[in-house]
Amino acid sequence: MNGIQSICPQSVLSLEKQRVLVIGDCMLDAYLLGDSTRISPEAPVPVVRVECQRSVPGGAGNVARNIAALRGCVSLITIAGADREADILEEVLRGESIDAFLIRSNTRPTTLKTRVLARGQQMIRLDREVNDALSQQEEEALMRQVRESLPGNDVVILSDYGKGIVSASFMKKFTALLLKQNPVPKLLIDPKPVNAAYYSGAYIMTPNAKEAGECVGFPVRSSEEVKQAGKILLDRFSCPNMLITLGAEGMALFSEGGKSIQHLPTSARDVFDVTGAGDTVIAVLGLALASGMNLSQACLLANRAAGLVVAQVGAAVVSPEDLIRELERNFRPDSSVW
């Protein structure tokens, strides 16, 4: 690889209609928005007067949402409950132009995260979830849909939020299915350390610094620690490429089996909220690879997109127009070899 390359702003248009398949743990993110002007007489807690509410897809759903926002063609396969929340989730996914396949379970609820905000400030978050591994019947239903959806997708994203989809059994069957495709799709994995023993067959993995540290067993803060962790992870997962996201410090791309290490500083001018930034990174990376961009270009584009979403509050997405303007502002890459 010849380093991080420049990318033409208009190349963003090549992302349109590219196909990506997303598989993983999806959730419904519910927001109750209002104001708080008094303390409850029942307990020393604020009283929030709810004025409106909205629901958006989270987890793997947010990855798919980011792809759809850039006008890619995205299919999503996930597990949900046989409940009202699954109906809402399916509705909001289809409203985002996502081809959603929700495997309904009678034994587990749809993962629901409810955030209560007053004047833009989060007061509390309530989670309803079951993190147990899928039952045999649920896994079989999931694999049937994966088998049906895989053909025609050159890029597959596995978005693991540790809610039960990824297991040793799932990864064995999933990897075998991938290898039967011709050509074999590029597999991108957003990992969870709790499932680190199960991953295999990835083209690239995208842990953040905290996740990388949990996988290798030491804190990942300095550039030397990042380099050490990246090389360990490449070897541990037998993965040719690794992208460690570093928050305000940007990203570190390990390629060619660790022979090439590139640092991409963040392009964010302001950082208000890093929620969902990892979803944006893997979504843009996958879509760019599907469009034919090389890994260097795809990482550069993902870095720029992440810089835009962290300047917004909540799990945001980037439009093609936003990304083109960002690249036009300064499309010469700022990177260095580590």
Give catalytic residues, as residue numbers: 279
Q: What is the 3-state secondary structure (H, E, C) of 32-97?
A: EEEEEEEECCCCCCEEEEEEEEEEEEEEHHHHHHHHHHCCCEEEEEEEEECCHHHHHHHHHHHHCC
Whole-angstrom Cα distance, residue 190 to residue 279? 8
Write out the two tokens for 56: 């958006």
φ/ψ (deg, to 5) at 330: -170, 95
Q: Please, what is the Cα angle at 93 between 90 and 96, to 5 degrees? A: 150
In angstroms, rounded to a whole number, what is the distance separating the alpha carbons of residues 54 and 276? Answer: 17
Q: 323, 15 in Cβ contact below 8 A?
A: no
| Dihedral over alpha carbons 154, 10, 93, 308 (to 10 degrees) | 110
Residue 64: what are its φ and ψ, rounded to 5°? -60, -40
Beta-ladder partners of 159: 24, 190
Torsion of CA 38, 40, 44, 45, to 10 degrees: -70
